[in-house]
Chain A
Amino acid sequence: MSIFVPNGKAQREQMLGVIGVEKFEDLLSPIPESVRLKKELNLPSPASEIELVKEFNGFAEQNTSAKLVCFRGAGAYDHYIPAAIDNILTRSEFLTAYTPYQAEVSQGTLQAIFEYQTMISRLTGCDAANACMYDGASAVAEAALMAIRATRKKRILVAGSLNPRTIDVIHTYMDNGDFQINEVPFNEKGLIDLDAAEQLAEGGVAALVLQYPNYFGSIEDVQAAADLVHKFKGLLIVAADPIALGVIEAPGNMGADVVVGEGQPMGVAMSYGGPYVGFMATNTKYLRKMPGRIVGRTEDRAGNPGYVLTLQTREQHIKRAKATSNICSNQALMALANVIYLTLTGETGFADIAQQNWHKSHYLNDKLLEIDGVTDVFDTPFCREFVINLPVSAVDAAIALEEDGYLAGLPIPGLGEGAMMLTATEKRTKEEIDGFVDAIKKHIQGVM
């Protein structure tokens, strides 16, 4: 008998008696004989807790990447996660609850989401936020569809300086035969070519999608992009890095209409890519076009304040084929990690972390540029991430550095054989950065 099934032989027989059948098989009568499985499933034999812990520890040991000192970003970042977060996340009340459809017994989740919406709105400089999306990339794609609904135009412009994985996801979501995506090239500074964008915007567009800081870490001119796309009656969608918003201006304060992004840096483990969480914020004007769940404050019958899911007529369970999105389950527990992270770090701690990321990535950049033959790919102000050109193969360098205990930056073959994109978070010490720079230097000297 399984450890998760309390009804044993005695109870089952008693229950079958009440149902009025002789044996379990009688309950299978609606299933035609021809489709019933005649064999036992071919699965590994069951493991006990002791065995499973051993097995999983074995898997963990094979993941040598987890022990590397990480200088890689490109959409997932090795940030410090305060221990208190998991203490809250593993509480039954948050961990095992369903979607808060029964509001009266879900006030914990609902108020936490309300506070999450508040913090995301403030961080992005927007009026409101939803309860979250799957991840940053799908949030961008959903924002593009939202702009199409809001403007009734079917074409969007996507900056080529966006994370290519995000561009992939936009294509997947917009592949319904009716929509068009134009990619705007980036210039020699690694920034969106606004002249090219203006030409491409002729005839009107639903939106321009920009990343901030962009994929290469360069800081785009959000205000200029907003002014441009607004001339063509389109929306500016900005995919922002949340940690960066602790030092650089919020997109919502510079004309962005929808601000989305990846919430992983705010208290969520890298976990080989998921579960992460996408945030989405917008201004009042476009609120009703937004996908996903939204929590609102209201009153109970005694006039006491409380929280409910609201504006549900946008959603699939009410609107079905006419819903703003098909999203149902989201990443609520990761959004909870975000709101606890933003609470613990708070106004001063969050700014401190953002600044440490700024300073450490700049220090790393400075030190790397001291090595003979290493140059910046773009001569542009950057935030948290940057691309350098090594005088050797970036792919080979990354492999060699792994032997030295480092997860080097990500090679970006599209920008040259030596192009490598790097980041240094608040977790990296000066000693680690210096050690890493030394290791790169030695590798280059060894090759050349």
Chain B
Amino acid sequence: MEKTIFQYSSPGRIGVSLPVLDVPETTISKKFARKEAIGLPQVTEGQAMRHFVRLSTKNFNIEEGLYPLGSCTMKYNPRLHEFLARIEGLAAVHPLSGDSSVQGTLGIMYKLGESLCEITGFDSVTLQPAAGAQGEFAGLMLIKNWQEARGQEHRNEVLMPDSAHGTNPATSTLAGLKVVSVKSDEFGKVDVEDLRQKAGENTCAFMLTNPNTLGIFESNIEEITKIIHDAGGLNYMDGANMNAMLGIARPGDMGFDVCHLNLHKTFSTPHGGGGPGSGPVCCNEILRPFLPPSTVVKSDDGYTLLDSTHKSIGRLLAFHGNVGVLYRAYAYIRTMGSKGLREASEVALINANYMKTRIKPYYDVPHDDGPCMHEFVASGAEMAKKGVKTLDIAKRLLDYGFHAPTIYFPLIVKEALMIEPTETESLESIDAFIDAMIAIAEEIDSKPHLVTDAPVNTPVLRLDEVKAVKDLCLVEPIE
């Protein structure tokens, strides 16, 4: 077992050198003073480095191999951006600095916002949301506030397809709105008739991921957004799959009123093992008055940060968003330019369709009605009948040196395997992944135990999640 950092601890060891106190001491009254030691480890810098480097070697990552997580857009994270975001003049800036002393950062925020509006076809933006889910919350609150402002506060329903990502319904609840699920048709798209029946006088908003969570473009999109508009609702696009559409199509041109983007997906900022992300929200003019504070405006005197919450849905974070992530996304857009962004989406589409075509003889691909966009969903339902679950296939892929696809999502596909290669993978690595998928399909017939026993080439064998819940151990016990 890998030791925990606490097991390296010995009294007197320390990993930082601090200056000697150069001011007189002021007594810390006993009444307030912390009575017992905290229980932090005591190690040297070298010990700490060895521990965390050892831990790091137990992680799969995008620089190690292909990471086909559907809807997560695990593309390469350019190294230059890590350097740029750490430039002292950009990193060492207090969030409550006066505007005139942070013109560089405000300039980046303004220009990034402009670019994101151009990419989505909208004219206003907030960069404050820390992640996609917070962007969804901001977006729904914008719509809710707009409905209230026009005397339609009774509208309390958010319509969304049954293929929606879990954050969509969870966000609706947070916003105090009721989820109305709309059926998907046999092609995995929104069932327009079902939508027509469910849209009505209580419709506040419609939430849709486009391309949807099956990787399929909602070809009836104009009819769909019109149904909602006619019913008095507004259309929200979950931009998780925007990597399919850069320079090809824009939510603002499809009848959407607002959308969020995931900078940590489409715009190449690193996932960091779960975050930070960034979920800017772009919207049309009618929603602009309700945007959260921390928007940047430009005038002859330079850039100004608007910090008022008047009329706004309010602040989502204490400060102005995950600014360090914004730096990276801006650098990405500057490197790519308009042609580069379109090229990224084009190749993302080619890579996904190529993978789908080559995998299809071995795995069922339901809802396959023509080209997919940047990802596709296969099903392990046939394999499950042979006693090998999608979870097993995912684990076996780890043995082959690949990360697993997104599994068991969307919920409308049994034993789902959602696969997104992204444009930063080469034909060679894509072929290697396909070969592994084919090899596993053959193993399922010939040597199924290899799959059900997987993984075996990983730092640990398959972990017992049931035991983790039953015998909860969330912290290292104090010795």
Known contacts A27-B349, A128-B474, A345-B40; is-contact A272 B93 (Cβ 8 Å)? yes
Task: Verify if A439 is at the interface (C-beta below 8 Å from B).
Answer: no
Does B118 contact A41, Cβ atoms closer than 8 Å?
Answer: yes
Which residues of chain A come closer than 8 Å to B357, judged between CB atoms?
18-20
Measured in the bound complex, the distance between the Cα atoms of B104 and A62 in whole Å is 5
Task: Verify if A285 is at the interface (C-beta below 8 Å from B).
Answer: no
What would 14 more interface pairs be, CB under 8 Å, given A106-B273, A249-B33, A249-B34? A35-B253, A42-B118, A46-B336, A46-B337, A74-B96, A98-B403, A102-B60, A165-B319, A250-B38, A297-B474, A306-B460, A323-B169, A345-B40, A346-B14
Does B344 contact A272, Cβ atoms closer than 8 Å?
Answer: no
Which residues of chain B come closer than 8 Å to A348, judged between CB atoms?
12, 14, 42
Which residues of chain B come closer than 8 Å to A447, judged between CB atoms?
none
**Binary CB contact string for chain B from 232 to 261 against chain A (1 if under 8 A, 0 otherwise):** 000000000000001111100110000000
Does B318 contact A66, Cβ atoms closer than 8 Å?
Answer: no
Which residues of chain B come closer than 8 Å to A329, judged between CB atoms?
130-133, 262, 264, 271, 274-277
Measured in the bound complex, the distance between the Cα atoms of B427 and A375 in whole Å is 70
Which residues of chain B come closer than 8 Å to A327, judged between CB atoms?
131, 133-134
Category for how many chain B residues contact A: 35 or more
Measured in the bound complex, the distance between the Cα atoms of B270 and A32 in whole Å is 33
Which residues of chain B come closer than 8 Å to A59, judged between CB atoms?
89-90, 104-105, 107-108
Measured in the bound complex, the distance between the Cα atoms of B268 and A34 in whole Å is 29
In the complex, 24 of the A-B residue pairs with CB atoms within 8 angstroms, ordered by the A residue number, are A4-B336, A12-B350, A19-B371, A24-B349, A41-B247, A53-B83, A62-B107, A88-B49, A93-B60, A95-B82, A97-B273, A98-B72, A107-B59, A109-B273, A165-B318, A172-B314, A175-B141, A178-B176, A274-B320, A274-B325, A296-B474, A301-B464, A347-B38, A349-B15
Measured in the bound complex, the distance between the Cα atoms of B398 and A59 in whole Å is 43
Report the minimum CB–CB distance from B454 to chain A (whole Å).
9
Looking at A113-121, A203-211, A229-237, the stretch in contact with chain B turns out to be A113-121
Chain A residues bordering chain B, tally (CB within 8 A) = 205
Does A317 contact B335, Cβ atoms closer than 8 Å?
Answer: no
Report the minimum CB–CB distance from B343 to chain A (whole Å).
6
Which residues 1-36 of A sit at the B interface, judged by CB distance below 8 A?
1-7, 11-12, 14-16, 18-21, 24, 26-32, 34-36
Closest 4 CB pairs of A and B: A176-B176, A273-B319, A60-B89, A333-B272
Report the minimum CB–CB distance from B79 to chain A (whole Å).
9
Does A4 contact B78, Cβ atoms closer than 8 Å?
Answer: yes
Does B4 contact A111, Cβ atoms closer than 8 Å?
Answer: yes
**Binary CB contact string for chain B from 52 to 86 against chain A (1 if under 8 A, 0 otherwise):** 11011111111110010100101111101011111
Does B102 contact A65, Cβ atoms closer than 8 Å?
Answer: yes
Task: Verify if A182 is at the interface (C-beta below 8 Å from B).
Answer: no
Task: Verify if A402 is at the interface (C-beta below 8 Å from B).
Answer: yes
Does B89 contact A66, Cβ atoms closer than 8 Å?
Answer: yes
Does A112 contact B52, Cβ atoms closer than 8 Å?
Answer: yes
Known contacts A14-B427, A100-B273, A310-B465; is-contact A344 B16 (Cβ 8 Å)? yes
Does B309 contact A168, Cβ atoms closer than 8 Å?
Answer: yes
Grouping DSSP codes into helix (H, G, I), strand (E, B) and loop, the B interface class, with mixed when no group exceeds half, is: loop
Which residues of chain A come closer than 8 Å to B473, judged between CB atoms?
296-298
Report the minimum CB–CB distance from A281 to chain B (whole Å).
10
Task: Verify if A248 is at the interface (C-beta below 8 Å from B).
Answer: yes
Measured in the bound complex, the distance between the Cα atoms of B272 and A333 in whole Å is 5
Measured in the bound complex, the distance between the Cα atoms of B402 and A104 in whole Å is 12
Does A109 contact B274, Cβ atoms closer than 8 Å?
Answer: yes
Task: Verify if A393 is at the interface (C-beta below 8 Å from B).
Answer: no
Known contacts A107-B58, A172-B141; is-contact A88 B461 (Cβ 8 Å)? no
Measured in the bound complex, the distance between the Cα atoms of B317 and A96 in whole Å is 24
Does A41 contact B92, Cβ atoms closer than 8 Å?
Answer: no
Does B216 contact A30, Cβ atoms closer than 8 Å?
Answer: yes
Does A63 contact B61, Cβ atoms closer than 8 Å?
Answer: no
Q: Which residue of B48, B53, B318 has the most chain A CB atoms within 10 A of its CB atom?
A: B318
Which residues of chain A come closer than 8 Å to B273, judged between CB atoms?
94, 97-100, 106, 109, 112, 332-333, 336
Task: Verify if A199 is at the interface (C-beta below 8 Å from B).
Answer: no
Measured in the bound complex, the distance between the Cα atoms of B24 and A360 in whole Å is 8
**Binary CB contact string for chain B from 120 to 161 against chain A (1 if under 8 A, 0 otherwise):** 000000000011111011000100000000000000000000
Does A40 contact B219, Cβ atoms closer than 8 Å?
Answer: no
Which residues of chain A come closer than 8 Å to B12, judged between CB atoms?
348
Selected contact of A5 from candidates B19, B262, B343, CB within 8 Å? B343
Does A298 contact B467, Cβ atoms closer than 8 Å?
Answer: yes
Which residues of chain B come closer than 8 Å to A273, judged between CB atoms?
95, 294, 317-321, 323
Which residues of chain B come closer than 8 Å to A320, judged between CB atoms?
166, 169-170, 179
Known contacts A21-B371, A347-B38; is-contact A270 B94 (Cβ 8 Å)? yes
Residue of B nearest to A99 (CB): B274
Known contacts A19-B357, A66-B92; is-contact A359 B25 (Cβ 8 Å)? yes
Does A106 contact B60, Cβ atoms closer than 8 Å?
Answer: yes
Which residues of chain A come closer than 8 Å to B453, judged between CB atoms?
301
Does B340 contact A344, Cβ atoms closer than 8 Å?
Answer: no
Report the minimum CB–CB distance from A423 to chain B (whole Å).
11
Does B173 contact A322, Cβ atoms closer than 8 Å?
Answer: yes
**Binary CB contact string for chain A from 37 to 72 against chain B (1 if under 8 A, 0 otherwise):** 100111111110100110111111111111110101
Measured in the bound complex, the distance between the Cα atoms of B343 and A99 in whole Å is 27
Does B80 contact A349, Cβ atoms closer than 8 Å?
Answer: no
Known contacts A96-B61, A245-B34, A270-B93; is-contact A64 B101 (Cβ 8 Å)? yes
Measured in the bound complex, the distance between the Cα atoms of B61 and A99 in whole Å is 10
Task: Verify if B175 is at the interface (C-beta below 8 Å from A).
Answer: yes
Known contacts A31-B219, A98-B274, A104-B398; is-contact A383 B32 (Cβ 8 Å)? yes
Residue of A nearest to B95 (CB): A273
Does B264 contact A76, Cβ atoms closer than 8 Å?
Answer: no
Task: Verify if A321 is at the interface (C-beta below 8 Å from B).
Answer: yes
Does B97 contact A407, Cβ atoms closer than 8 Å?
Answer: yes
Which residues of chain B come closer than 8 Å to A169, judged between CB atoms?
314-318
Known contacts A63-B101, A115-B476; is-contact A316 B349 (Cβ 8 Å)? no
Does A328 contact B133, Cβ atoms closer than 8 Å?
Answer: yes
Does A102 contact B56, Cβ atoms closer than 8 Å?
Answer: no
Which residues of chain B come closer than 8 Å to A74, judged between CB atoms?
96
Q: Which residue of B80, B115, B350 has the most chain A CB atoms within 10 A of its CB atom?
A: B350
Task: Verify if A414 is at the interface (C-beta below 8 Å from B).
Answer: no
Does A296 contact B472, Cβ atoms closer than 8 Å?
Answer: yes
Does A316 contact B1, Cβ atoms closer than 8 Å?
Answer: no
Which residues of chain A come closer than 8 Å to B41, judged between CB atoms?
343, 346-347
Report the minimum CB–CB distance from B427 to chain A (whole Å).
4
Task: Verify if A373 is at the interface (C-beta below 8 Å from B).
Answer: no
Task: Verify if B392 is at the interface (C-beta below 8 Å from A).
Answer: no
Task: Verify if A385 is at the interface (C-beta below 8 Å from B).
Answer: no
Which residues of chain B come closer than 8 Å to A265, judged between CB atoms?
none
Measured in the bound complex, the distance between the Cα atoms of B21 and A362 in whole Å is 13
**Binary CB contact string for chain B from 344 to 388 against chain A (1 if under 8 A, 0 otherwise):** 101101110110011000000000001101000000000000000
Report the minimum CB–CB distance from A158 to chain B (whole Å).
14
Measured in the bound complex, the distance between the Cα atoms of B221 and A366 in whole Å is 66
Which residues of chain B come closer than 8 Å to A64, judged between CB atoms?
100-101
Measured in the bound complex, the distance between the Cα atoms of B275 and A95 in whole Å is 9
Does B371 contact A326, Cβ atoms closer than 8 Å?
Answer: no
Does A97 contact B336, Cβ atoms closer than 8 Å?
Answer: no
Measured in the bound complex, the distance between the Cα atoms of B340 and A304 in whole Å is 47
Known contacts A5-B344, A21-B371, A96-B63; is-contact A166 B318 (Cβ 8 Å)? yes
Does A176 contact B48, Cβ atoms closer than 8 Å?
Answer: no
Does B42 contact A298, Cβ atoms closer than 8 Å?
Answer: no
Task: Verify if B297 is at the interface (C-beta below 8 Å from A).
Answer: no
Which residues of chain A come closer than 8 Å to B325, judged between CB atoms?
274-275
**Binary CB contact string for chain B from 430 to 471 against chain A (1 if under 8 A, 0 otherwise):** 000000000000000000000001010011111111011101
Report the minimum CB–CB distance from B16 to chain A (whole Å).
5
Selected contact of B49 from candidates A61, A75, A84, A114, CB within 8 Å? A84
Known contacts A122-B38, A219-B32; is-contact A271 B26 (Cβ 8 Å)? no
